[in-house]
Amino acid sequence: MTLVVLVNFQVRGFVKENWTPHNHVEFKRMNKNCFLNFDRLGFLMANGARTFLTVSKSTSRLLHLPPASSRFFPPFNSSFNGATFCSSTGTPSMSINLQSHAFARNPIRSKTPKPENPLSPDSSFESLKSKLLAKTPLLSSPDFKILPFRKGWPLVSCNGGKRNGGLASGWGLGWISLADCESLLALSGSKVTEDLLVYLGSSVEDDAVYWATDFSGADNLDAELGQRKLNFIELRMLMVATNWSDTWAMGQLAIAGHGRALLDWHRTSRFCGHCGERTVPMEAGKRRECSNQSCKLRIFPRVDPVVIMLVIDQENDRALLSRQSRYVPRKWSCLAGFMEPGESLEEAVIRETLEETGIEVGKVVYHSSQPWPVGRSTMPCQLMVGFFAYAKSLDIKVDKAELEDAQWHTREDVKKALTLSDYKKTQRSAAAKVEQLCNGVESRHSQSADINAEDGGLASMFFPGPYAIAHQLISSWAYQDNEK
């Protein structure tokens, strides 16, 4: 038995031919067989001139998908770019829209070069040491581009950022050369050493290696950076300011998130947790090692997994949304919580839902995941793992120590809030503020961590913007075709 899986985006070698309501998507074959690799699953296109994309019965069980006899419907959004699993059962569409997940799809980390490659971490690190020691430039070495951070905020420029048609976000990362890095740190009485630079990735097309460094101790560079139209911008503001249709800027945001998480991990891992001695960076900053020769504990960057779930009633008509005390008025979102040692992701969903709202959860369905380097300052390496969860009970008992409120909301109320929310306006306002900060129009200390004007006061509630996985969970459920 097989299950037809709908894919509403163009696959290399195949072009979507038509949508038929309550039917299926057909692909016109343009060349030989191809594999579509999605989330580590290989989907083999068949040989016919017109084919269906199928997965096995075992895979459908893994994904919690309905049997092949179920009727299928097109996804909620014709502009959606990703794979969508739809059914007419109570299971919501599994709309996995990786294209709009902020901090994902890092363009310089898609593939790590082999050690012998000049752009690999080891080779690049040796070239870096040679450049720092050499009195004359090494013409054969790759171009080094450095992204400074200050207290977790990346350096940003509003000059000369790549354009993406009419979708440009108006900002780009403030990459500087190794020579510029040396001159800027010299103004603060510091010197560049190889241990201060952390490898971020490379680009074969540009023959470039990208590094991050921490300028937190250099507090007298504002005037010099201002002359270059550069400024350190809070990462959450950049997230809001980024047009999620601007793929280039989304890639820049992913690089900044990776750099922030990596530098913060280095900052908090300076001492060995086993013997207490100092640790030193190794492999161009990819790991650290205890300096105690009798210990030599190897330490790797950590990831803190967080489950985030949209809880749905058994009729699939209402969703459970919550408010935290730190939220601005009318803002609601999904339940979320950190995993505990020794539990699975599904167990964490069930436990957190029960602890915070008193709701018992049965079936748990995976949606997607998102790096989240803008969470708690003490945990910059969070990974949000998103789920749909089905409630076995309806009575809410809010844990006031965790939440301010939690309520069931109907699909129509959620749709109305999504319709009235003006996320584009919020993005443009944040982008304008970033530009003003770079140009010195606004005070460099007036940045706000949150911009909450998404709905202009028209709706009774609003949700996090499309950059957040919470929005993806809520919107994919709200616009699910719920015909029975």
**Mean pLDDT in residue range 164-187:** 84
- Residue 223: the pLDDT is 86
Tokens of 267: 């900052």
Quote the percentage of the chain above a pLDDT of 90: 48
Look up the CATH number of domain 303-434+451-478.
Answer: 3.90.79.10
Binned at pLDDT 50, 70 and 90, residue 193 comes out as confident
Binned at pLDDT 50, 70 and 90, residue 335 comes out as very high
- Residue 459: the pLDDT is 73
Q: Lowest-pLDDT range, 298-302, 423-427, 434-438, 478-482?
A: 478-482
pLDDT for 445 beyond 80: no
- Residue 304: the pLDDT is 93
Max mean pLDDT among 115-129, 295-309, 451-465 falls in: 295-309
- Residue 289: the pLDDT is 97
Q: Which are the contacts of 28, defined by CB distance < 8 A and separation ≥ 6?
A: 14, 15, 17, 49, 50
Q: Which are the contacts of 34, defined by CB distance < 8 A and separation ≥ 6?
A: 11, 12, 13, 14, 45
Q: 254 and 104 in contact (C-beta within 8 Å)? A: yes
User: How far is it between the farthest Cα atoms of the chain?
Assistant: 74
pLDDT for 47 beyond 50: no
pLDDT for 441 beyond 90: no
- Residue 98: the pLDDT is 53
- pLDDT top residue among 46 and 181: 181
Binned at pLDDT 50, 70 and 90, residue 169 comes out as confident
Over the stretch 53-78, which tens digit does the pLDDT of each residue have? Answer: 333 333 333 333 333 333 222 222 32
The residue among 57, 55, 42, 44 whose CA lies nearest residue 13 is: 44
- Residue 390: the pLDDT is 97
- Residue 421: the pLDDT is 86
Over the stretch 75-110, which tens digit does the pLDDT of each residue have? Answer: 223 233 333 333 334 455 444 555 568 999 899 986
Over the stretch 386-436, which tens digit does the pLDDT of each residue have? Answer: 999 999 999 999 999 999 999 999 999 999 999 988 888 888 888 889 988
Give the up-direction half-sphere exposure of residue 11: CA atoms within 13 A in the CB hemisphere: 28
Per-residue HEC secondary structure of the chain comes to CEEECCECCCECCEEEEEECCCCCEEEEECCCCCEEEECCEEEECCCCCEECCEEEHHHHHHCCCCCCCCCCCCCCCCCCCCEEECCCCCCCCEEECHHHCCCCCCCCCCCCCCCCCCCCHHHHHHHHHHHHHCCCCCCCCCEEEEEEEECCEEEEECCCCCCCHHHCCCCEECCEEHHHHHHHHHHCCCCCCHHHEEEEEEECCCCEEEEEEECCCCCCCHHHHHHCCEEECCHHHHHHHCCCCCHHHHHHHHHHHHHHHHHHHHHHCCECCCCCCEEEEEHHHCEEEECCCCCCCEECCCCEEEEEEEEECCCCCEEEEEECCCCCCCECECEEEECCCCCCHHHHHHHHHHHHHCCCEEEEEEEEEEEECCCCCCCCCEEEEEEEEEECCCCCCCCCCCCCEEEEEEHHHHHHHHHHCCHHHHHHHHHHHHHHHHCCCCCCCCCCCCCCCCCCCCCCCECCCCCCHHHHHHHHHHCCCCCC
**CA angle, corner 40, sides to 66 and 247, nearest 5?**
100
- Residue 140: the pLDDT is 58
Q: Which are the contacts of 85, defined by CB distance < 8 A and separation ≥ 6?
A: 5, 6, 63, 65, 93, 94
**Mean pLDDT in residue range 275-303:** 95
Over the stretch 342-379, which tens digit does the pLDDT of each residue have? Answer: 999 999 999 999 999 999 999 999 999 999 999 876 67
**Mean pLDDT in residue range 32-40:** 34
Give the amino acid at 25.
V
- One CATH from 3.90.79, 2.60.120, 3.30.70, 1.10.287 for 121-267: 3.90.79
Burial of 18 (0-12, 13-18, 19+ CB in 10 A): exposed
Dihedral sign of CA atoms 67, 71, 74, 76 in order:
negative
pLDDT for 482 beyond 80: no
- pLDDT top residue among 346 and 36: 346
- Looking up tokens 């939690």 gives 406
Binned at pLDDT 50, 70 and 90, residue 442 comes out as low
**Mean pLDDT in residue range 182-211:** 90
- Mean pLDDT for the chain overall: 77
Determine the length of the chain: 484
